[in-house]
């Protein structure tokens, strides 16, 4: 049994351990180097980390369905990947699907912003008044369900094997966590790395509390889609204010129970 097949068979446990390791490491780094104070950090993180307990059961259950769809696709030779030239080459196969899945995630993210019903769930993530590594897990269980349903659709349409999903999730997890960290890259490094990948500098722009910046830098791992489709933007750190202009009250977005109710309340657009 190969290492990749072993990981594929137990990918839920492996991915959870990987996710936890990065989160904890960066959280400790933020405590040590971001100068926010441990008490304040704990108070902010506690609210966000509670979302793990609402999202995790949904994620674990639905990812098994994703894997079944992947298995069906490959048994029936179904999916867009089968029409890509030289797809039987491992390099072409993995790189093509990685790029296509990233485009799908970009598409999903745009859709979540453009339809009010979906935005009401997604704004829970955006409503955090302080973006740090714990913001990564601030996802309403309703969005967890919606996001995984979209993943089922992308897997059905593209036809990746489980190994591709493991590879993709590994890169995606690392990218998403790092993008939410308080640390920013030096300007020159951000210019170079940001030509291809989403950096904390770029993703923080997306968490600015007002349009048009809230609708910029939708990229998941790659920044090329934002550049290609005209949704790319930059904003200096001192000009970036986190949150959503319709939900800036700490009493609403700083308490777990109140945050869970947000998608079921009347939506205000500014």
The pTM for the full model equals 0.90
CA separation for the pair 77, 159 (Å, rounded):
8
* pLDDT for 28: 86
The boundaries of the domain holding residue 76 are 3-184+250-264
In a domain, 137, yes or no: yes
In a domain, 149, yes or no: yes
Tokens standing for residue 212? 């048009």
Residues 150-178 have a mean pLDDT of 94
* pLDDT for 260: 94
Over the stretch 224-237, which tens digit does the pLDDT of each residue have? 999 999 999 999 99
Comparison of pLDDT for 247 and 149, the residue scoring more: 149
**DSSP β-bridge partners for residue 222:** 197
**Helices and strands (DSSP H and E) totals, the chain:** 13, 0
Question: Domains in the chain: how many in total?
Answer: 1
In a domain, 67, yes or no: yes
Tokens standing for residue 198? 């989403």
Confidence of residue 9 (pLDDT cuts 50, 70, 90): low
In a domain, 236, yes or no: no
Which three-class secondary structure state does DSSP give residue 222? strand
In a domain, 116, yes or no: yes
Confidence of residue 159 (pLDDT cuts 50, 70, 90): very high
In a domain, 160, yes or no: yes
In a domain, 224, yes or no: no
Are 162 and 11 a contacting pair, CB within 8 Å? yes
In a domain, 141, yes or no: yes
Are 253 and 259 a contacting pair, CB within 8 Å? yes
* pLDDT for 40: 81
| DSSP code for 211 | T
Over the stretch 113-127, which tens digit does the pLDDT of each residue have? 999 999 999 999 999
For residue 108, pLDDT beyond 80: yes
């Amino acid at each position: 049994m190969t290492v990749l097949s072993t990981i594929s068979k137990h990918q839920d446990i492996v991915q959870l351990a990987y996710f936890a390791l990065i989160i904890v490491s960066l959280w400790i780094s933020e405590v040590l180097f971001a100068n926010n104070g441990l008490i304040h950090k704990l108070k902010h993180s506690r609210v966000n980390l509670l979302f793990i307990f609402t999202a995790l059961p949904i994620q674990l259950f639905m990812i098994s369905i994703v894997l079944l769809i992947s298995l069906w696709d490959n048994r029936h030779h179904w999916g867009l990947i089968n029409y890509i030239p030289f797809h039987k080459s491992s390099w072409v196969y993995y790189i093509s699907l990685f790029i296509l899945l990233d485009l799908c995630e970009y598409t999903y993210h745009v859709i979540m912003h453009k339809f009010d019903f979906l935005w009401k769930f997604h704004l829970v993530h955006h409503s955090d008044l302080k973006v740090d590594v714990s913001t990564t897990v601030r996802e309403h269980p309703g969005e967890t369900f919606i996001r995984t349903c979209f993943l089922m659709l992308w897997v059905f349409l593209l036809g990746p094997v489980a190994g591709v999903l493991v590879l993709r999730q590994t890169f995606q997890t690392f990218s998403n966590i790092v993008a939410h960290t308080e640390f920013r890259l030096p300007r020159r490094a951000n210019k170079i790395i940001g030509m291809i990948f989403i950096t904390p500098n770029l993703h923080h722009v997306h968490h600015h509390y007002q349009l048009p910046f809230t609708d910029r830098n939708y990229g998941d791992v790659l920044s090329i889609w934002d550049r290609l489709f005209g949704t790319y933007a930059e904003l200096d750190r001192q000009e970036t204010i986190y949150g959503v202009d319709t939900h800036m009250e700490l009493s609403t977005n700083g308490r777990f129970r109140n945050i869970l109710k947000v998608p079921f309340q009347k939506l205000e657009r500014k």
